[in-house]
Structure 1
Amino acid sequence: MFSTNNGNALVRAYCDSCKTCATKFLNATQWDSVQKCKNTGASLDTIDEGEADFKAKTGIIQTSSENIFYYSNDRLLHGYIVFMGKYATKTIDAHLIAIRDFERFSKGVAFKQITPQLVAQYREDLIQRGSEVGEDAIGNSAIRHRASQLRLFLTWLLKQKGYRSLDQTLPEYLDLPKAQMAKVKPAKEKVYPTLSEAEEMLRSMPKATQLDRRQRSVFACAFLTGLRANALAGLRHRDVDLHKSIFVQDGTNGRAKNGKSYRGRFFPVPEIFLSVFTEWVNEMETFGANRDDAVFPTKQSLIQNRSPGVQPRKPFEPLKGADVVRQAFAVASKNTKDSYHPHSARHCLAALGFEKCRSEKEVKAWSQCLGHEDIKITLRHYGQLKEETRFEVMEGIEMNRGETDDEKDLLLKFALHELHASDPGYEKAKALYNTRIGRPGDR
């Protein structure tokens, strides 16, 4: 990218085959779109609701790029992409970024020449970049992901014909030493609103136009269902049952993470979230929307079907990407101190679950409605407590040591002699009983 005197940006892209380049002059808004693609791994057509208003100018003279590209391993990488077909495009892109980063470090070495020493040097380079400040710096999470992604690739590589003679311990050289990783700057604290803050944000969102109401409904639906941004963007009327408070993530439409399908129930959030979403669904039905139509149509679809009852009606097409969902959260965050993104709704719901659920069974149900097959995923990655909240919880524990409902049930069974010494939970019930009667040390 090059800046020009009038404030525009000149961007170039190079053809891998003929080495000629395409150039575009972009204004500030267009450049923001390109940056968004670069940061999210999306293509321009997935974030743009309309037609692009600028065209490429294809060059006919060979020029050299400021960046260095390596092509020797591309045929092999194509095979890896085919192997990774079960994953979402975004996941595949993340793995390719890690592999290309390794290529950059090794200056395009052919994968047949990879050595344990080279992999170990790359591991040290990753850790070193975690301690730096500037454009090349990467965080703790990025280091772990890159190492894990490259490890998976090397494991696959060692099974390919012509590569089985490589050192079979290559993936193990990507194990990260705990002592050194402890010195790497920690990942940023995940910022998310409380449920009451989210309610206030929803109330403050504009609703004068149809696009405003679409944004409000997108925001409300995120907290009702906990769906990820791409899944929200691809939601259809058949995926939602307002009467039973049930939703479906349809993994067959290519919008769900890792193609996962599951049924969930609306989360117990304030009534306004369901009310806003229901009003939007009803509004869409007055324009003839049926079960196969998108819940959140594109701007063009809304314009085409603006007059209720007009036949033949064109289908309400789903959003191309998640940009409208991100915009909805940006609008909702306009008057807040923090800028929230769509995934913050899932963190908020996870934190709410930790607060409301009183048994492992309830936590599991809550976790599965978030699309997590394993409770550990919810516990490890979602709803992390803020520092002030942690201190409040610890103070509350110190002041109130009351038992949970499950513990009270155990106490009652123990007192009524319904537990045998060999039953699961007997020892815990006995300890609770002795604590209750003032004999905590008596086992």
Structure 2
Amino acid sequence: MSRSYKGITLKHHRVYSAQDLMVAFKVSKNTVSNWVIAGLQRVDQERPHLFRGATVNTFHDARRKRDRTSLRPGEFKCTGCNMAIFPVPGTVVEEPSRNGTKLLSARCSECGGHVYRFASVAKKEPCAGQPDPNTTETCAHEENTSARSRIGISHTNFCGPNERLLYAWQKHAGQFSDKTIDRHLTAIRWLEDFLDGKPFVKLTLEDCYAVRDHLKASLHPGAPNPKSKSTVQHTASHLRDFFEWLLKQPEHRRLPAGLPDALRLPRAAYSASLPKAPKAYPSLEEARNLLKGMPSKTTIQKRDRAIFALAFLGALRADTSISLRLGDVDCTGAKIIQNADTARTKNGKSLQIAWFPIPEDLRAAVIDWVAFMEGAGFTPEDALFPQKNAFNGRRTFPARRNQPIAPMTSCHSVSVAFEVACNGHHTKYTPHSAKHTIAAERDRRRLTSEQRKAWSENMGHENEQITSSHYGKLTHDRRLALLEHLPLEDEEREVLDLANEEKIAFFDQFVETFNSSRKRGS
């Protein structure tokens, strides 16, 4: 088994304990200790030992690069670990080979397997005399370096004085989703960089005022690094939440109580930012044409077509659609089961989604894919969109397996499917644009008030306000086109001949909008 850990990447901004590393990399405590001996930097010398995610990633990247370079004195190449290692002290022995060359044998300090190396007598001494199983060349020959035995400041030092505090905050933030934690940590790490790594225990109001002024200045279009209104709002909000938690910690209760309020920006500051451009989204007919242009010869191409079509069929987020199981799509009942226990849904929301009325070509792409998966031997517990290696070039998949095929952990395949669909098109649409398309379709159709409410709830929204406020907004070209066809003031306007049911629905919608506006005003 390869032990290069190439497929494992930790969160860059997070702080991990030794136990977290053991779980993430599926290794023992001794292995983590060997990494520390080999040069993995801890955040400090206190216990429990903590590690910055970026530091661990850099450490393993450097070790993997050693596989592509020549061995240093005392190193062996372990084929099991697929990397250069130093052997366990005292295990290096010389064995004769058939052609008379010198062959050194030892035991790998990582996996315990046997390693071999052809070497002369001159190369045996550093191998046999290695004082530590993972001593680096810098430490072994520190007389050739300016920083003796890791004494000094490393250029790859990601660890600051706030790591242990942030680890405690991560424990507190466990009530949130992983994405929410990552967004908050991004804002906190930005604050740390802005203050040049200043310990949070020494924060002052002047620091917060400087942060607030910087955020205000970044809203101007001419700023060196301009930020959008949404970015500034969320950054300030995340930092205020962090400060409110910080003031409750025993060692930080002497900080100024006004830290959270010092980050409040005036409304006039947000007015200086450029208006946010409406997100581009295709019409249903345009999506139908994009699907027709997608190739459908190979299994992966059929999968991409189904991924693209399902985004419109259920108005699904990319992370939700890629995490669905085969049994979650009911072609007979024309619905999608969004189960929060098995799929990655927003806010852990479970929902039964009725298929939206979209062109038959889009529906057929999903139905054909489900039929193909069932015919290939996949079970309802398997992923709806498995990875490429799940097919193994076979027409049928073996029915007997120990575990169901798990969904992909990344929604990259959804982005790829939309890139394939938009290949050669003048606009590159994102996976999230499908939700905007379905929301805009609600406004284009003549629906009753009850039907509009059902449409919004089928999208997973608690009320129609969410659909109207955040999705399906008019683009610049669409807005101009509609205004051009408005009648002039002195033109005779056409009187709408509405049926009684349409009149009742129109009045109900007016009353609902009026009541909701009164509630917001109060």
- Do both proteins adopt the same fold according to a TM-score greater than 0.5, normalized to the shorter chain? yes
TM alignment of 1:114-125, pairs within 5 A: 114-125=203-214
Partner of 2:244: 155
Q: Deviations over 1:366-408 (max 9, x none)?
A: 2222222243322222111112212333455656674877895
Contact kept? 1:358, 1:406, Cα under 8 Å: no
Partner of 2:93: none
The aligned length equals: 380
Partner of 2:461: 372
Distance 1:218 1:126, change over 3 A: same
Distance 1:92 1:307, change over 3 A: same
Contact kept? 1:127, 1:184, Cα under 8 Å: no
Tell me how far apart the structure 1 counterparts of residues 470 and 506 of structure 2 sit (CA, whole Å).
35
Asked if 1:136 is matched to 2:225, the reply is yes
Q: 1:219 aligns with which of 288, 308, 315?
A: 308
Q: Deviations over 1:297-340 (max 9, x none)?
A: 11111227x24274435743322210111100000010211111
TM alignment of 1:265-280, pairs within 5 A: 265-280=354-369
Partner of 2:42: 17
Alignment-mate amino acid for residue 268 of structure 2: A
Contact kept? 2:219, 2:269, Cα under 8 Å: no
Unpaired runs of 5+ residues, structure 2, are 1-12, 14-38, 44-54, 65-81, 86-133, 139-149, 488-492, 515-522
TM alignment of 1:5-404, pairs within 5 A: 15-17=40-42, 21=59, 23=61, 61=138, 62=150, 69-131=158-220, 136-253=225-342, 255-303=344-392, 306-308=394-396, 310-313=398-401, 315-356=404-445, 358-395=447-484, 398=487, 402=496
Alignment-mate amino acid for residue 220 of structure 1: A
CA drift at 1:282? 0.1
Contact kept? 2:278, 2:474, Cα under 8 Å: no
Distance 1:60 1:280, change over 3 A: farther
Contact kept? 1:22, 1:56, Cα under 8 Å: no
Q: Deviations over 1:267-302 (max 9, x none)?
A: 111111110100000000001122111111111112
Distance 1:111 1:309, change over 3 A: closer
Which secondary structure does the structure 1 equivalent of 2:280 belong to?
coil
CA drift at 1:210? 0.4
Tell me how far apart the structure 1 counterparts of residues 469 and 155 of structure 2 sit (CA, whole Å).
41
CA drift at 1:120? 2.5
Tell me how far apart the structure 1 counterparts of residues 185 and 498 of structure 2 sit (CA, whole Å).
47
Tell me how far apart the structure 1 counterparts of residues 84 and 484 of structure 2 sit (CA, whole Å).
61
Q: Deviations over 1:44-89 (max 9, x none)?
A: xxxxxxxxxx979997645966577452222222222223223332
Q: Deviations over 1:386-438 (max 9, x none)?
A: 1221233345565667487789534999xxxxx9xxxx959x9xxxxxxxxxx
Tell me how far apart the structure 1 counterparts of residues 318 and 505 of structure 2 sit (CA, whole Å).
44
Give the CA RMSD over aligned residues: 3.6
Q: 2:503 aligns with which of 364, 384, 409?
A: 409
Which secondary structure does the structure 1 equivalent of 2:380 belong to?
coil
Distance 1:327 1:147, change over 3 A: same
Q: If you compute each CA radius of gyration, which structure gives the higher value, 1 or 2?
A: 2
Tell me how far apart the structure 2 counterparts of residues 162 and 357 of structure 1 sit (CA, whole Å).
61
Distance 1:313 1:115, change over 3 A: same
Distance 1:292 1:118, change over 3 A: same
Which secondary structure does the structure 1 equivalent of 2:441 belong to?
helix
Tell me how far apart the structure 2 counterparts of residues 412 and 16 of structure 1 sit (CA, whole Å).
66
CA drift at 1:175? 2.2
Tell me how far apart the structure 2 counterparts of residues 360 and 166 of structure 1 sit (CA, whole Å).
53
Distance 1:401 1:73, change over 3 A: farther
CA drift at 1:353? 1.7
Tell me how far apart the structure 2 counterparts of residues 355 and 401 of structure 1 sit (CA, whole Å).
20
Which secondary structure does the structure 2 equivalent of 1:253 belong to?
coil
TM-score calculated relative to the size of structure 1: 0.75
Tell me how far apart the structure 2 counterparts of residues 405 and 86 of structure 1 sit (CA, whole Å).
51
CA drift at 1:204? 0.4
Q: Deviations over 1:91-127 (max 9, x none)?
A: 2111100011111112222223323332222122122
Contact kept? 1:86, 1:258, Cα under 8 Å: no
Higher relative contact order (CA 8 A, sep 6+): 1
Distance 1:183 1:211, change over 3 A: same
Which secondary structure does the structure 1 equivalent of 2:251 belong to?
coil
Contact kept? 2:212, 2:262, Cα under 8 Å: yes
Contact kept? 1:237, 1:292, Cα under 8 Å: yes
